[in-house]
Structure 1
Amino acid sequence: MSAGRMLAGTCVEPGVFELREVPLTETAPEGWVLVDIAAVGICGTDYHIFAGKHPFLDYPRVIGHELSGRLVAPVGALAAGTLVVVNPYVSCGTCRACNRGKPNCCSAIQVLGVHRDGGLCARIAIPAGNVYPADGLTEIQAAMVEFLAIGAHAVTRSDVQAGDRVLVTGAGPIGLGTALFARLAGAEVHLLDLSTRRLEQARAKFGFDRLHSDPATLLRGDLADGFDIVFDATGSAKAIEAGFPLLAHGSTYVLVSVVKDRISFEDAEFHKREARIIGSRNAVEADFRRVMAAIRDGRIDTDALLSAELALADLPDRFAALANDREELIKAVVRPRDGQLPGR
C-alpha cells in the first residue's frame, strides 16, 4: 500500500463489497476532529446497503457508522488518544429540526456510511460535537453504543411507563436493543419474530420469556385487548401493516425500522383506538450517554450481544455470509486497524 493511503470497506454496488485503497485522512475542516477508528459494528443498515434495499443511498459507499475510535489530537479537555464514541449523524445545525433540538432528523442530515462515506477505515474526520468520551468502556463496547442508542431513542419517543404491555416485533439487534431499554423502563416486554432461533437466543442470552412466533395467536387470553406500545424493528412493510391490529385502545405504534414501501392501514380501526404512530429516527446525544451509563453499570450485557470479531482484511470473504446469517448473528465488530495506520 502506498504511503498516506488506507483501506476502506466499500459497497461498490448491490452484492459487491471490497476493500479499496483511498487517501488517509490527514486534515479536518474547522470545527471537526480526526479520529483513528478502533472498532466498527456491522448492522442491518450495512446489510441492506449490500442487498440494494436502502432508500437513502448512492453507490459506491464506504460503509460503517457504529464507530469507536481514539482522538488524533486534543479536543478541549479531551487528550489525544482518548477513546470516544462517534455520533455518525452529521447535522446542518441551522434547519428547523436542528433549531428545535432534533439534529437526529435534520432536514439535511448526512449519516456516515449512508449519505456520506463512513468509518470502516483507519481514520475519519467528524464534527467535534459528534464525539463523546467513552469513559469506562472498551473499544468494542464503545462501537456498540450507536445501535443501542437507536433502541433507547425509540423507547424515549414512546413515552413508555412502568407496567406498560410492550410488543417488540423483530428480534434482531435493533429490536433487542429496544426490548432491553423498554425492560429497563419497567415495561412488560413481549418479543415477536418468525424465527424461533432468534427468540430462543433472546431467552438464553437476555432472559426474555414472553416470546411469540405467530402473530395470529397473539390476541388471545390475557393479551386479547392488545399492547400499549408496539415497536416495529423488522424492516418489513408487511410486518408493519400486520402490527396495527395488535394495538390496544389508547396505544402507540413506534416505527423504528425504515422501509421503501408505502404502508396502509384501516383508518376506522386506528381512530377507534385513538392510537398514535411515531417515527423514530437515529438518536440524540442524551441517548448515547444513557446507553454508555447502562453499559458501565452492567445493566446491558455487551458480551451477550457480540457474535463475532473480525479483522478488516477478512471482511470481503465474510460479508455475504454475515448478511445471510441473520437468525443467530447479533453483532459482528470489525477492527479496521491493528497498531500502525496503513501506509505509515
Structure 2
Amino acid sequence: MISFVQLESIKQFKVRQKEIPIPSIDEVLVEIKYVGICGSDLHVYHGSHPKVKPPAVLGHECTGIIYDGNEHFLENTPVAINPLIGCGVCKHCQAGEPNICVSRTVIGFQKEGGLSQVIAVPKNNILPLSEEFPLRTGVLYEPLAVVIHAAKQANLKKQQDVIITGAGTIGLLSGIYIQDNFDVTVSFIERDSKRIEFAESLGFHVYKQIDDVPMKTIQRPIFFECTGNLPLFKKILDYKPAAAEIIIVSTFEKELEIPIFALLPNETVIQGSQMYTEKDLKQALEILSTSKRYLYEEIVIKKDYSYHEVNTAYETVTNNNEKRVKAIINMEKGGRII
C-alpha cells in the first residue's frame, strides 16, 4: 500500500491509501521523494485556477527514483519528471512544442501528481539524473525551466532595464536567472514586506509602486509579469517609458480585455510564455547540477514538510509565514511504502 494526498475540496487536503499502481507498457513507476509547491498549485488550492478544480492529486515539480526497474530504466535510478504530456500527433507536438498542444495534459493536474508515493509516468517523460544530483532542492528544475523558456521569448539587450512583477518563486527565479545570464538591470515590483526584504537580501532593487522604478538606460524596459494581478497588469500598460515587451509568465484567473490602442502607438509587444519544452527542462537540470544551483537554492524554505503537513505547507506559502518562498514536501516523511 502507498499513501497519497488528495485535494478533496478548496483548501482541504486528505491523506489516503491505495494499492501501488500498475503501469501500462509505455509507463514506468516512480517512487516520489520530493515535491515542490508551485504558484499554479496554490491557484487550484484556493479554487481560482481557470482549468483545474478539486478533487486532484497535485504535484508537478517532482524528483524521485525508479521504483520497479524494467528494460528502460534500472531500479533506484534517480529521476526528474517532465510533467507535460502532449498528444504527440498535432502539428505543435510534431514541431517539438507540446507546451502549446491544445490536447496536452499535465502530471499533477489532469493526471495524478507527485503527492502520491508512487506514480506511473510515461517512459518518455522520465529525465534520468546523476547519483550526485540533489533531489530535494532539485525540484526547482521545473519552475527554472519555466523561467528559461520565458527569457527566450524576450529580446533582451545589453544593459536593458528588466522589471519583474512579483517576488514569489517564479519572479525570484526569473531575476536570478536573467541577472546571471544577461547583462541587464533587474528591478522588482512587490508590496509584501517579507518578500521585499528577502528579494533585497538577494541583491535586488525592489519598489512598491511601478511608477517608482527608475530607468538606468534610454532603452525601453521589458516586463516579466509573474503575479496574475489584473490591476497591476493595466498599470504596466500605462507605464512610461512604454514597455518594449511584456512577457506574461503568470496565470490569470479571469480573461483580460487589453486596450489595443494602448499598444499600437507605443509598439509594445505582449508575449505569452507557456510552460517549457524538454530542452528547457534539461537546461534547468544542467544548471542545478553545477555550483550555480546555490544561487537558486536560496529561495527554498529549510523546513521539510511531511505529506501529513501538506495543508500546513500550503498555508505557510499562502500567508508568507517564512522569509523564503519555496516549500517542499518530503514524501518519505510521514510513513513508508508498505
TM-score, normalized by length of structure 1?
0.89
Name the residue aligned to 1:139: 135
Task: Note if contact 1:232-1:240 (Cα within 8 Å) is conserved in structure 2.
Answer: yes
Is 2:251 aligned against 1:258?
yes
Contact 1:121–1:337 (CA under 8 A) maintained in structure 2: no
User: What's the CA shift for 1:37?
Assistant: 0.4
CA pair 306-317 structure 1, distance change in 2 beyond 3 A: closer
Question: Are 1:167 and 1:230, in contact at CA under 8 Å, matched by a contact in 2?
Answer: yes
1:14-163 maps to which residues of 2 (within 5 A)? 14-25=10-21, 27-74=22-69, 78-135=73-130, 136-163=132-159
Distance change >3 Å, CA 81–CA 273, structure 1 → 2: same
What SS is found at the alignment partner of 1:334? Answer: strand
Displacement of 1:329 after TM fit?
4.0
Take 2:129 and 2:198, find their aligned partners in 1: how far apart are those partners? 28
Q: Does 1:282 align with 2:275?
A: yes
In the alignment, structure 1 residue 272 sits paired with structure 2 residue 268: no
Q: Which structure has the highest strand share of the two?
A: 1
Report if aligned partners of 1:160, 1:185 keep a CA contact under 8 Å in 2. no
Deviation at 1:168, TM superposition (A): 0.7
Aligned counterpart for 1:303 among listed residues 297, 306, 311: 297
Inter-partner Cα distance in structure 1 for 2:180 and 2:279 = 16
Deviation at 1:203, TM superposition (A): 2.1
Equivalent pair of 2:66/2:77 in contact (CA under 8 Å): yes
Q: 1:333 to 1:245 in 2, by over 3 A?
A: same
Q: CA RMSD in A?
A: 2.3
CA contact (8 A) 1:68 1:143 kept: yes
Unmatched 5+ residue regions in structure 1? none
How far does the alpha carbon of each residue in 1:208-254 deviate from its partner, in whole angstroms, 9 at most, with x for none? 2x221111323x5647x674311100021222222122375571111
2:190 match = 193
Cα pair 2:162 2:223 within 8 Å, conserved: yes
Q: Which of 175, 200, 203 matches 2:200?
A: 203
Q: Distance in 2 between matches of 1:329 and 1:235?
A: 20
**Number of equivalent positions:** 334
Counterpart residue type for residue 190 of structure 2: D
Question: Using a 3 Å threshold, how does the CA distance of structure 1 residues 75 and 250 change in structure 2: closer, same or farther?
Answer: farther
The answer for unaligned runs of 5 or more in structure 2 is none
* 1:300 positional shift: 3.4
Higher alpha-carbon deviation: 331-340 or 86-95: 331-340
In the alignment, the residues of structure 1 paired with residue 279 and residue 67 of structure 2 have an alpha-carbon distance, to the nearest angstrom, of 25
Aligned partners of 1:252 and 1:203: how far apart in 2?
25
